[in-house]
Structure 1
Amino acid sequence: MAATPRGAGDRSRSAQRPAPQAERRADARRNIKSILDAAQLCLARDADASVADMAKAAGVGRVTLYGHFKTRADLVDAVLTRTMEQSDAALDATDTTGDPREALTRLVGASWRIVHQLHSVLRAAHRELPPERIRAVHDRTLQRVQTIIDRGRDAGAFRDDLPQRWMVTTVFSLMHAAAEDTAAGRLDADDAARVISATLLAALTAPGTAVPAPAP
Protein backbone atom coordinates (compact mmCIF):
# COMPACT_ATOMS: atom_id res chain seq x y z
CA MET A 1 0.00 0.00 0.00
CA ALA A 2 1.38 3.37 -1.02
CA ALA A 3 2.42 5.58 1.82
CA THR A 4 0.31 8.62 2.46
CA PRO A 5 2.32 11.75 1.77
CA ARG A 6 3.34 13.47 4.94
CA GLY A 7 0.74 16.06 5.93
CA ALA A 8 -1.82 14.79 3.39
CA GLY A 9 -4.10 13.40 6.12
CA ASP A 10 -4.07 16.70 7.93
CA ARG A 11 -4.88 18.56 4.73
CA SER A 12 -7.72 16.13 3.96
CA ARG A 13 -9.24 16.55 7.43
CA SER A 14 -8.94 20.31 7.28
CA ALA A 15 -10.59 20.36 3.85
CA GLN A 16 -13.57 18.54 5.33
CA ARG A 17 -13.99 21.10 8.12
CA PRO A 18 -15.67 24.43 7.40
CA ALA A 19 -13.30 27.34 7.67
CA PRO A 20 -13.62 29.23 10.97
CA GLN A 21 -14.86 32.29 9.07
CA ALA A 22 -17.60 30.24 7.37
CA GLU A 23 -18.60 28.80 10.74
CA ARG A 24 -18.83 32.30 12.19
CA ARG A 25 -21.00 33.45 9.30
CA ALA A 26 -23.31 30.43 9.74
CA ASP A 27 -23.53 31.11 13.50
CA ALA A 28 -24.29 34.77 12.79
CA ARG A 29 -27.09 33.84 10.38
CA ARG A 30 -28.60 31.47 12.94
CA ASN A 31 -28.37 34.12 15.65
CA ILE A 32 -29.98 36.77 13.47
CA LYS A 33 -32.85 34.44 12.57
CA SER A 34 -33.37 33.47 16.22
CA ILE A 35 -33.32 37.12 17.27
CA LEU A 36 -35.80 38.18 14.58
CA ASP A 37 -38.11 35.22 15.31
CA ALA A 38 -38.11 36.05 19.01
CA ALA A 39 -38.41 39.82 18.53
CA GLN A 40 -41.34 39.40 16.17
CA LEU A 41 -43.18 37.25 18.72
CA CYS A 42 -42.31 39.55 21.63
CA LEU A 43 -43.38 42.72 19.83
CA ALA A 44 -46.59 41.07 18.59
CA ARG A 45 -47.49 40.50 22.25
CA ASP A 46 -46.14 43.76 23.67
CA ALA A 47 -45.05 46.84 21.74
CA ASP A 48 -42.92 47.84 24.74
CA ALA A 49 -40.97 44.56 24.90
CA SER A 50 -37.42 45.32 26.00
CA VAL A 51 -34.19 44.30 24.32
CA ALA A 52 -33.51 42.07 27.34
CA ASP A 53 -36.87 40.33 26.84
CA MET A 54 -36.15 39.75 23.16
CA ALA A 55 -32.61 38.52 23.76
CA LYS A 56 -33.83 36.08 26.42
CA ALA A 57 -36.56 34.77 24.10
CA ALA A 58 -33.95 34.29 21.38
CA GLY A 59 -31.62 32.43 23.71
CA VAL A 60 -28.78 34.90 23.23
CA GLY A 61 -27.14 37.52 25.39
CA ARG A 62 -27.68 41.23 24.96
CA VAL A 63 -24.10 41.62 23.77
CA THR A 64 -24.79 39.16 20.94
CA LEU A 65 -28.03 40.92 20.04
CA TYR A 66 -26.36 44.32 20.01
CA GLY A 67 -23.62 42.83 17.83
CA HIS A 68 -26.21 42.44 15.08
CA PHE A 69 -28.60 45.30 15.88
CA LYS A 70 -26.94 48.39 17.32
CA THR A 71 -30.13 49.84 18.82
CA ARG A 72 -33.65 48.78 19.67
CA ALA A 73 -34.83 50.96 16.77
CA ASP A 74 -32.62 48.95 14.37
CA LEU A 75 -34.17 45.72 15.63
CA VAL A 76 -37.72 47.09 15.38
CA ASP A 77 -36.96 48.26 11.83
CA ALA A 78 -35.73 44.77 10.89
CA VAL A 79 -38.80 43.14 12.42
CA LEU A 80 -41.15 45.54 10.63
CA THR A 81 -39.39 44.96 7.30
CA ARG A 82 -39.56 41.20 7.74
CA THR A 83 -43.21 41.36 8.83
CA MET A 84 -44.19 43.41 5.79
CA GLU A 85 -42.34 41.04 3.45
CA GLN A 86 -44.28 38.13 4.93
CA SER A 87 -47.52 40.11 4.70
CA ASP A 88 -46.88 41.05 1.09
CA ALA A 89 -46.37 37.40 0.22
CA ALA A 90 -49.75 36.63 1.82
CA LEU A 91 -51.41 39.40 -0.20
CA ASP A 92 -50.19 37.79 -3.43
CA ALA A 93 -53.16 35.44 -3.10
CA THR A 94 -55.68 38.32 -3.10
CA ASP A 95 -57.60 38.81 -6.34
CA THR A 96 -57.23 42.45 -7.37
CA THR A 97 -58.62 42.06 -10.89
CA GLY A 98 -62.07 43.04 -12.14
CA ASP A 99 -64.15 45.96 -10.91
CA PRO A 100 -61.74 48.34 -9.11
CA ARG A 101 -64.22 49.00 -6.28
CA GLU A 102 -64.66 45.30 -5.60
CA ALA A 103 -60.90 44.76 -5.93
CA LEU A 104 -60.25 47.50 -3.38
CA THR A 105 -62.74 45.94 -0.99
CA ARG A 106 -61.02 42.55 -1.29
CA LEU A 107 -57.59 44.08 -0.76
CA VAL A 108 -58.82 46.01 2.29
CA GLY A 109 -60.27 42.82 3.76
CA ALA A 110 -57.02 40.89 3.31
CA SER A 111 -54.85 43.80 4.46
CA TRP A 112 -57.00 44.45 7.51
CA ARG A 113 -56.52 40.92 8.81
CA ILE A 114 -52.76 41.44 8.63
CA VAL A 115 -52.82 44.95 10.14
CA HIS A 116 -55.03 43.77 13.01
CA GLN A 117 -52.85 40.76 13.77
CA LEU A 118 -49.64 42.78 13.68
CA HIS A 119 -50.92 45.97 15.25
CA SER A 120 -48.55 45.72 18.20
CA VAL A 121 -45.52 45.48 15.88
CA LEU A 122 -46.74 48.56 14.02
CA ARG A 123 -47.24 50.41 17.30
CA ALA A 124 -43.65 49.65 18.28
CA ALA A 125 -42.52 50.90 14.87
CA HIS A 126 -44.45 54.16 15.24
CA ARG A 127 -42.68 54.77 18.55
CA GLU A 128 -39.18 54.04 17.23
CA LEU A 129 -39.11 54.96 13.54
CA PRO A 130 -39.84 58.10 11.52
CA PRO A 131 -43.14 58.14 9.56
CA GLU A 132 -41.35 58.18 6.19
CA ARG A 133 -39.53 54.95 7.07
CA ILE A 134 -42.75 53.21 8.07
CA ARG A 135 -44.40 54.25 4.83
CA ALA A 136 -41.38 53.12 2.80
CA VAL A 137 -41.60 49.64 4.33
CA HIS A 138 -45.25 49.52 3.19
CA ASP A 139 -44.25 50.41 -0.36
CA ARG A 140 -45.22 47.15 -2.09
CA THR A 141 -48.63 47.07 -0.43
CA LEU A 142 -49.21 50.72 -1.34
CA GLN A 143 -48.24 49.93 -4.92
CA ARG A 144 -51.11 47.44 -5.00
CA VAL A 145 -53.48 50.15 -3.76
CA GLN A 146 -52.16 52.63 -6.30
CA THR A 147 -52.65 50.17 -9.16
CA ILE A 148 -56.30 49.66 -8.20
CA ILE A 149 -56.89 53.40 -7.79
CA ASP A 150 -55.30 54.09 -11.20
CA ARG A 151 -57.59 51.52 -12.83
CA GLY A 152 -60.59 53.00 -11.05
CA ARG A 153 -59.72 56.53 -12.20
CA ASP A 154 -59.26 55.35 -15.79
CA ALA A 155 -62.64 53.59 -15.67
CA GLY A 156 -64.41 56.58 -14.11
CA ALA A 157 -65.22 54.63 -10.95
CA PHE A 158 -62.86 56.64 -8.73
CA ARG A 159 -62.56 60.40 -8.63
CA ASP A 160 -59.79 62.11 -10.58
CA ASP A 161 -60.12 65.56 -9.00
CA LEU A 162 -57.80 64.68 -6.11
CA PRO A 163 -54.07 63.90 -6.22
CA GLN A 164 -53.42 60.22 -6.71
CA ARG A 165 -50.85 60.12 -3.91
CA TRP A 166 -53.36 61.68 -1.51
CA MET A 167 -55.87 58.95 -2.33
CA VAL A 168 -53.26 56.28 -1.58
CA THR A 169 -52.37 58.08 1.67
CA THR A 170 -56.05 58.07 2.62
CA VAL A 171 -56.17 54.28 2.31
CA PHE A 172 -52.93 53.86 4.29
CA SER A 173 -53.97 56.27 7.04
CA LEU A 174 -57.47 54.88 7.44
CA MET A 175 -56.21 51.32 7.85
CA HIS A 176 -53.86 52.37 10.64
CA ALA A 177 -56.49 54.57 12.29
CA ALA A 178 -58.84 51.57 12.33
CA ALA A 179 -56.13 49.49 14.01
CA GLU A 180 -55.75 52.13 16.72
CA ASP A 181 -59.51 52.34 17.28
CA THR A 182 -59.81 48.57 17.42
CA ALA A 183 -57.01 48.35 20.00
CA ALA A 184 -58.75 51.05 22.05
CA GLY A 185 -62.09 49.23 21.88
CA ARG A 186 -63.79 51.93 19.79
CA LEU A 187 -64.22 49.71 16.74
CA ASP A 188 -65.28 46.06 16.50
CA ALA A 189 -62.44 44.14 14.85
CA ASP A 190 -64.91 41.80 13.13
CA ASP A 191 -66.68 44.75 11.51
CA ALA A 192 -63.60 46.85 10.77
CA ALA A 193 -63.01 45.67 7.19
CA ARG A 194 -66.58 46.61 6.24
CA VAL A 195 -66.32 49.99 7.95
CA ILE A 196 -62.97 50.75 6.27
CA SER A 197 -64.23 49.70 2.84
CA ALA A 198 -67.46 51.69 3.16
CA THR A 199 -65.53 54.79 4.23
CA LEU A 200 -63.01 54.46 1.40
CA LEU A 201 -65.64 53.85 -1.26
CA ALA A 202 -67.53 56.95 -0.10
CA ALA A 203 -64.31 58.99 -0.21
CA LEU A 204 -62.94 57.69 -3.51
CA THR A 205 -66.03 57.19 -5.68
CA ALA A 206 -66.29 59.72 -8.48
CA PRO A 207 -68.71 62.61 -7.76
CA GLY A 208 -72.14 61.99 -9.24
CA THR A 209 -71.66 58.22 -9.17
CA ALA A 210 -73.61 56.00 -6.80
CA VAL A 211 -71.46 54.74 -3.93
CA PRO A 212 -71.62 50.93 -3.81
CA ALA A 213 -71.98 49.11 -0.54
CA PRO A 214 -68.96 46.89 0.18
CA ALA A 215 -69.60 43.22 -0.30
CA PRO A 216 -70.11 41.42 3.04
Structure 2
Amino acid sequence: MPTTAGPRRRADAERNIARIVSAARESLSSDPNASIDDIAKAAGVGRMTLYGHFRNRAELVEAALVDALRAGEEALSALDLTGDARDALTRLLDSSWSLVAESAALLTAAQGTLPAGRIRELHAAPAQRVEELIRRGQDEGVFRTDLPITWLVNVVHYVLQGAAEENRVERLETEEVAHVVIATTQSILAAPGASDRSRSRRREKP
Protein backbone atom coordinates (compact mmCIF):
# COMPACT_ATOMS: atom_id res chain seq x y z
CA MET A 1 0.00 0.00 0.00
CA PRO A 2 2.69 2.62 0.85
CA THR A 3 4.37 2.01 -2.50
CA THR A 4 1.27 3.20 -4.39
CA ALA A 5 0.19 6.00 -2.05
CA GLY A 6 3.19 8.18 -2.91
CA PRO A 7 2.80 8.07 -6.70
CA ARG A 8 -0.96 8.49 -6.38
CA ARG A 9 -0.54 11.59 -4.19
CA ARG A 10 1.96 13.04 -6.64
CA ALA A 11 -0.42 12.40 -9.56
CA ASP A 12 -3.27 14.03 -7.64
CA ALA A 13 -1.05 17.01 -6.81
CA GLU A 14 0.00 17.42 -10.44
CA ARG A 15 -3.62 17.33 -11.56
CA ASN A 16 -4.54 19.92 -8.96
CA ILE A 17 -1.68 22.19 -10.01
CA ALA A 18 -2.66 21.91 -13.68
CA ARG A 19 -6.29 22.63 -12.83
CA ILE A 20 -5.37 25.63 -10.67
CA VAL A 21 -3.01 27.13 -13.26
CA SER A 22 -5.61 26.64 -16.01
CA ALA A 23 -8.25 28.31 -13.85
CA ALA A 24 -5.84 31.16 -13.07
CA ARG A 25 -5.18 31.75 -16.76
CA GLU A 26 -8.89 31.83 -17.52
CA SER A 27 -9.87 33.92 -14.50
CA LEU A 28 -7.06 36.47 -14.84
CA SER A 29 -7.65 36.79 -18.59
CA SER A 30 -11.24 37.77 -17.86
CA ASP A 31 -10.39 39.87 -14.81
CA PRO A 32 -6.77 40.79 -14.00
CA ASN A 33 -7.92 41.53 -10.44
CA ALA A 34 -9.35 38.04 -9.87
CA SER A 35 -8.71 36.97 -6.29
CA ILE A 36 -7.34 33.76 -4.85
CA ASP A 37 -10.90 32.83 -3.87
CA ASP A 38 -12.12 33.43 -7.44
CA ILE A 39 -9.39 31.21 -8.86
CA ALA A 40 -9.86 28.45 -6.28
CA LYS A 41 -13.58 28.41 -7.02
CA ALA A 42 -12.97 28.25 -10.78
CA ALA A 43 -10.51 25.39 -10.24
CA GLY A 44 -12.93 23.51 -8.03
CA VAL A 45 -10.49 23.31 -5.12
CA GLY A 46 -10.40 24.75 -1.63
CA ARG A 47 -8.13 27.58 -0.48
CA MET A 48 -6.02 25.17 1.56
CA THR A 49 -5.39 23.02 -1.52
CA LEU A 50 -4.44 26.07 -3.56
CA TYR A 51 -2.12 27.41 -0.87
CA GLY A 52 -0.57 23.98 -0.63
CA HIS A 53 0.87 24.56 -4.11
CA PHE A 54 1.17 28.35 -4.35
CA ARG A 55 2.21 30.35 -1.30
CA ASN A 56 0.62 33.59 -2.49
CA ARG A 57 -1.15 35.29 -5.38
CA ALA A 58 2.12 36.48 -6.91
CA GLU A 59 3.34 32.90 -7.36
CA LEU A 60 0.04 31.92 -8.96
CA VAL A 61 0.03 34.91 -11.31
CA GLU A 62 3.57 34.09 -12.39
CA ALA A 63 2.65 30.42 -12.96
CA ALA A 64 -0.31 31.46 -15.12
CA LEU A 65 1.81 33.88 -17.17
CA VAL A 66 4.60 31.32 -17.61
CA ASP A 67 2.10 28.69 -18.75
CA ALA A 68 0.47 31.07 -21.25
CA LEU A 69 3.84 32.12 -22.68
CA ARG A 70 4.95 28.47 -22.90
CA ALA A 71 1.82 27.55 -24.85
CA GLY A 72 2.37 30.54 -27.12
CA GLU A 73 5.98 29.58 -27.76
CA GLU A 74 4.95 26.04 -28.68
CA ALA A 75 2.48 27.38 -31.23
CA LEU A 76 4.78 30.03 -32.71
CA SER A 77 7.94 27.90 -32.82
CA ALA A 78 6.32 25.77 -35.53
CA LEU A 79 5.51 28.85 -37.64
CA ASP A 80 7.36 29.27 -40.95
CA LEU A 81 9.15 32.62 -40.77
CA THR A 82 11.39 32.12 -43.80
CA GLY A 83 11.26 34.19 -46.98
CA ASP A 84 10.37 37.86 -47.32
CA ALA A 85 10.50 39.54 -43.90
CA ARG A 86 7.22 41.41 -44.45
CA ASP A 87 5.38 38.22 -45.37
CA ALA A 88 6.93 36.44 -42.38
CA LEU A 89 5.86 39.28 -40.09
CA THR A 90 2.31 39.05 -41.44
CA ARG A 91 2.21 35.34 -40.64
CA LEU A 92 3.62 35.97 -37.16
CA LEU A 93 1.11 38.72 -36.34
CA ASP A 94 -1.80 36.74 -37.75
CA SER A 95 -0.91 33.80 -35.53
CA SER A 96 0.12 35.67 -32.39
CA TRP A 97 -2.51 38.35 -31.78
CA SER A 98 -4.93 35.95 -30.07
CA LEU A 99 -2.10 34.70 -27.83
CA VAL A 100 -1.29 38.29 -26.95
CA ALA A 101 -4.95 38.92 -26.16
CA GLU A 102 -4.70 36.43 -23.32
CA SER A 103 -1.23 37.42 -22.14
CA ALA A 104 -2.16 41.13 -22.17
CA ALA A 105 -4.65 40.59 -19.35
CA LEU A 106 -2.21 38.32 -17.54
CA LEU A 107 0.46 40.99 -17.99
CA THR A 108 -1.85 43.54 -16.36
CA ALA A 109 -2.20 41.22 -13.38
CA ALA A 110 1.55 40.60 -13.32
CA GLN A 111 2.48 44.28 -13.48
CA GLY A 112 0.82 44.88 -10.15
CA THR A 113 2.39 41.78 -8.63
CA LEU A 114 5.73 40.80 -10.16
CA PRO A 115 8.98 42.82 -10.43
CA ALA A 116 9.48 44.55 -13.80
CA GLY A 117 12.72 42.64 -14.35
CA ARG A 118 10.96 39.29 -14.01
CA ILE A 119 8.28 40.33 -16.49
CA ARG A 120 10.93 41.37 -19.04
CA GLU A 121 12.72 38.05 -18.49
CA LEU A 122 9.54 36.06 -19.15
CA HIS A 123 8.88 37.99 -22.38
CA ALA A 124 12.46 37.71 -23.65
CA ALA A 125 11.81 34.88 -26.13
CA PRO A 126 8.79 36.49 -27.91
CA ALA A 127 10.63 39.83 -28.06
CA GLN A 128 13.73 38.14 -29.51
CA ARG A 129 11.67 36.55 -32.29
CA VAL A 130 10.24 39.93 -33.33
CA GLU A 131 13.63 41.63 -33.09
CA GLU A 132 15.30 39.05 -35.34
CA LEU A 133 12.52 39.45 -37.90
CA ILE A 134 12.78 43.25 -37.90
CA ARG A 135 16.56 43.09 -38.26
CA ARG A 136 16.15 40.77 -41.23
CA GLY A 137 13.71 43.19 -42.80
CA GLN A 138 16.17 46.02 -42.25
CA ASP A 139 18.90 44.01 -43.97
CA GLU A 140 16.49 43.41 -46.87
CA GLY A 141 15.77 47.14 -47.05
CA VAL A 142 12.04 46.78 -46.38
CA PHE A 143 11.94 47.91 -42.73
CA ARG A 144 13.02 51.31 -41.47
CA THR A 145 16.41 51.79 -39.83
CA ASP A 146 16.00 55.36 -38.55
CA LEU A 147 14.59 54.34 -35.16
CA PRO A 148 16.11 52.18 -32.39
CA ILE A 149 15.41 48.48 -32.81
CA THR A 150 14.28 48.17 -29.20
CA TRP A 151 11.68 50.88 -29.79
CA LEU A 152 10.37 49.17 -32.94
CA VAL A 153 10.05 45.85 -31.07
CA ASN A 154 8.13 47.60 -28.30
CA VAL A 155 5.88 49.35 -30.81
CA VAL A 156 4.87 45.98 -32.28
CA HIS A 157 4.08 44.80 -28.76
CA TYR A 158 2.09 47.97 -28.01
CA VAL A 159 0.02 47.55 -31.18
CA LEU A 160 -0.76 43.92 -30.31
CA GLN A 161 -1.71 44.82 -26.74
CA GLY A 162 -3.81 47.76 -27.87
CA ALA A 163 -5.72 45.67 -30.40
CA ALA A 164 -6.29 42.96 -27.80
CA GLU A 165 -7.72 45.54 -25.40
CA GLU A 166 -9.96 47.07 -28.10
CA ASN A 167 -11.26 43.59 -28.84
CA ARG A 168 -11.82 42.87 -25.15
CA VAL A 169 -13.99 45.96 -24.69
CA GLU A 170 -15.78 45.20 -27.98
CA ARG A 171 -14.61 48.29 -29.88
CA LEU A 172 -12.91 46.01 -32.42
CA GLU A 173 -14.55 42.89 -33.80
CA THR A 174 -12.57 39.65 -33.51
CA GLU A 175 -12.55 39.09 -37.26
CA GLU A 176 -11.04 42.57 -37.75
CA VAL A 177 -8.17 42.31 -35.29
CA ALA A 178 -5.60 40.50 -37.45
CA HIS A 179 -6.11 42.90 -40.39
CA VAL A 180 -5.87 45.98 -38.15
CA VAL A 181 -2.75 44.71 -36.38
CA ILE A 182 -1.00 43.72 -39.62
CA ALA A 183 -1.86 46.93 -41.50
CA THR A 184 -0.83 49.14 -38.58
CA THR A 185 2.44 47.34 -37.87
CA GLN A 186 3.49 47.03 -41.50
CA SER A 187 2.89 50.76 -42.09
CA ILE A 188 4.91 51.69 -38.99
CA LEU A 189 7.86 49.46 -39.87
CA ALA A 190 7.92 50.15 -43.63
CA ALA A 191 11.11 51.74 -44.94
CA PRO A 192 10.56 54.84 -47.09
CA GLY A 193 10.05 53.73 -50.70
CA ALA A 194 9.97 50.03 -49.78
CA SER A 195 6.59 49.50 -51.45
CA ASP A 196 7.76 51.19 -54.64
CA ARG A 197 10.90 49.04 -54.78
CA SER A 198 8.84 45.92 -54.18
CA ARG A 199 6.46 46.75 -57.02
CA SER A 200 9.42 47.50 -59.29
CA ARG A 201 11.01 44.13 -58.55
CA ARG A 202 7.73 42.36 -59.28
CA ARG A 203 7.47 44.09 -62.64
CA GLU A 204 11.03 43.10 -63.50
CA LYS A 205 10.36 39.40 -62.92
CA PRO A 206 9.79 37.43 -66.16
| TM > 0.5 fold call | yes
Deviation of the 1:112 alpha carbon = 1.0
Distance in 2 (alpha carbons) for counterparts of 1:87 and 1:57: 23
Identity across aligned pairs (percent)? Answer: 46
What residue in structure 1 maps to residue 165 of structure 2?
A: 180
Letter matched to residue 113 of structure 1: S
Per-residue CA deviation, residues 9-42 of structure 1 (Å, 9 max, x unaligned), is xxxx76xx1475x665444333322211222233
**1:7 aligns to what?**
none
Mapped to 1, the partners of 2:148 and 2:58 lie a distance apart of 33
* Distance (Å, rounded) in 2 between the aligned partners of 1:105 and 1:158: 13
Q: CA deviation at 1:98?
A: 0.7
Q: 2:39 aligns with which of 46, 54, 60?
A: 54
Hey, what does 1:170 align to over in structure 2? 155
Displacement of 1:122 after TM fit? 4.2
- Structure 1 residue runs of 5 or longer lacking an equivalent are 1-12
Secondary structure of 1:128's aligned partner: coil
Equivalents in 2 of 1:97, 1:63: separation in Å?
49
Name the count of aligned residue pairs: 197
SS in 2 for 1:162: coil
Match in the other structure for 1:31: 16
The separation in 2 between residues aligned to 1:41 and 1:136, in whole angstroms, is 23
Q: Helix, strand or coil for the counterpart of 1:108?
A: helix
SS in 1 for 2:195: coil
User: In the alignment, what sits opposite 1:43?
Assistant: 28
CA RMSD of aligned residues (A): 2.5
- How many angstroms does 1:172 deviate by? 0.9
Distance 2:118 2:171 in 1: 28
Partner in structure 1 of residue 140 of structure 2: 155
In 2, the alpha carbon distance for the partners of 1:95 and 1:119 equals 24
1:206 and 2:164 aligned: no
What is the aligned counterpart of 1:84 among 48, 63, 69?
Answer: 69
Q: Which of the two has greater helix per residue? A: 2
1:11-160 to 2 correspondence within 5 Å? 17-18=3-4, 20=6, 25-116=10-101, 120-160=105-145
What amino acid is the match of 1:163?
P
Aligned match of 2:181:
196
Moved over 4 A (4+): 22-27, 117-120
Q: 2:176 & 2:120 partners in 1: Cα distance? A: 25
After TM superposition, the score normalised by the length of structure 1 is: 0.78
State the alpha-carbon separation in 2 of the partners of residues 197 and 37 from structure 1: 30
CA contact (8 A) 2:27 2:39 kept: yes
Whole-Å Cα distance in 1 between the matches of residues 25 and 95 of structure 2? Answer: 20
Alignment partners' CA distance in 2, 1:106 and 1:23: 44
